[in-house]
Structure 1
Amino acid sequence: MRVLVVEDEPYLAEAVRDGLRLAAVPADVAPDGARALEMLRENRYDVVVLDRDLPVVPGDEVARVVAATPDGPRVLMLTAADRLDDKASGFALGADDYLVKPFAMRELVLRVRAVARRAGPGRPPVLEAEGVRLDPFRREVHREGHHVPLTRKQFAVLEVLMAADGGVVSAEDLLEQAWDAHADPFTGAVRVTMSTLRSRLGAPAVIHTVTGVGYRFGGPAAPAP
Structure 2
Amino acid sequence: MTDLIGRRLVLAEDDEDIRETTALLLTRHGFTVTAVQDGVEALTAIEQEHPDAVILDIAMPRLDGLALVRRLGDSAPPVIFLTARDLPSDVVHGLSLGADDYIAKPFDADVLVARIEAVIRRANRGAAPEEPIDGVTLDRHGKAVYRDGNAVAVSATEYRVLEALLDNRGNVLSRSQIVDLAWDSSWQDDRVVDTNVQRLRKKLGPDVIETVRGFGYRIPRVPL
How much has 1:136 moved relative to structure 2? 7.5
- The size of the alignment, in residue pairs, is 129
Q: Are 2:59 and 1:53 equivalent residues in the alignment?
A: yes
User: What is the identity, as a one-letter code, of the residue corresponding to 1:121?
Assistant: R
SS at match of 2:11: strand
Q: Are 2:104 and 1:100 equivalent residues in the alignment?
A: yes
- Give yes or no for contact 2:34–2:45 (8 Å, CA) kept in 1: no
SS at match of 2:107: coil
- Give yes or no for contact 1:75–1:97 (8 Å, CA) kept in 2: yes
SS at match of 2:124: coil
Q: Are 2:47 and 1:41 equivalent residues in the alignment?
A: yes
Q: For 2:12 and 2:97, locate their aligned partners in 1 and report how far apart those are by CA, in whole Å.
A: 16
Q: For 1:102 and 1:117, locate their aligned partners in 2 and report how far apart those are by CA, in whole Å.
A: 24
Note the aligned Cα RMSD (angstroms): 2.4
Q: TM-score, normalised by structure 1?
A: 0.53
Q: 1:163-182 to 2 correspondence within 5 Å?
A: none
- Give yes or no for contact 1:113–1:137 (8 Å, CA) kept in 2: no
Q: For 1:66 and 1:19, locate their aligned partners in 2 and report how far apart those are by CA, in whole Å.
A: 26
Q: For 1:65 and 1:119, locate their aligned partners in 2 and report how far apart those are by CA, in whole Å.
A: 19
- Give yes or no for contact 1:47–1:73 (8 Å, CA) kept in 2: yes
How much has 1:65 moved relative to structure 2? 2.4
Q: Which runs of 5+ in 2 are unaligned?
A: 1-6, 132-168, 173-224
Aligned to 2:95: 91
How much has 1:73 moved relative to structure 2? 1.0
- Give yes or no for contact 2:14–2:37 (8 Å, CA) kept in 1: yes
Identity of aligned residues (%): 33
Aligned to 1:73: 77
Q: For 1:96 and 1:67, locate their aligned partners in 2 and report how far apart those are by CA, in whole Å.
A: 13
Q: 1:21-40 to 2 correspondence within 5 Å?
A: 21-40=27-46
Q: Are 2:22 and 1:16 equivalent residues in the alignment?
A: yes
Q: For 2:98 and 2:40, locate their aligned partners in 1 and report how far apart those are by CA, in whole Å.
A: 18
From the two aligned structures, give the one with the greater helix fraction. Answer: 2
If asked which structure has higher relative contact order (CA below 8 Å, sep 6+), I would say 1
SS at match of 2:82: strand
Q: For 1:136 and 1:52, locate their aligned partners in 2 and report how far apart those are by CA, in whole Å.
A: 32
How much has 1:49 moved relative to structure 2? 0.5
SS at match of 1:119: helix
- 1:158-200 CA-partner distances (Å, limit 9, x unpaired): xxxxxxxxxxxxxxxxxxxxxxxxxxxxxxxxxxxxxxxxxxx
- Give yes or no for contact 1:4–1:45 (8 Å, CA) kept in 2: yes
Q: For 2:114 and 2:94, locate their aligned partners in 1 and report how far apart those are by CA, in whole Å.
A: 20
Q: For 1:47 and 1:40, locate their aligned partners in 2 and report how far apart those are by CA, in whole Å.
A: 9
How much has 1:137 moved relative to structure 2? 4.4
Q: 1:130-145 to 2 correspondence within 5 Å?
A: 137=171
Q: TM-score, normalised by structure 2?
A: 0.53
